[in-house]
Amino acid sequence: MEHYSARITIDANTRFGRPCIRGLRISVYDILGWLASGMTREDILKDFPELTEEDIQAALSYAADREHTILIAS
């Protein structure tokens, strides 16, 4: 799989600069929320045909990378 940076875009004019999928108005946060609410990948792809399996995987990889690099001040 290609690196998530090939699919995740950040543009101040789209969704207030939230990380989105390929410049679409679908954010990483949206995808994570749908998965957390119990939607399957298949459900998401059916409801949002502009997305691909690779887009969902990129959102998960982006979130995992962000979680790994967050520093917590004590």
For the whole model, what pTM was predicted?
Answer: 0.87
Q: Is the pLDDT confidence value at 30 over 80? A: yes
Domain boundaries, the chain: 4-67
Q: Which of 37, 7, 43, 40 shows the shortest CA–CA distance to 24?
A: 7
Domain 4-67 matching CATH 1.10.10.10: the answer reads: yes
Do 28 and 18 touch, CB atoms closer than 8 A? yes
Question: What stretch of H or E contains 63?
Answer: helix 53-69
pLDDT of residue 69: 72
Question: What stretch of H or E contains 9?
Answer: strand 8-9
pLDDT of residue 74: 62
Q: Is the pLDDT confidence value at 2 over 80? A: yes
Do 32 and 59 touch, CB atoms closer than 8 A? yes
pLDDT of residue 71: 63
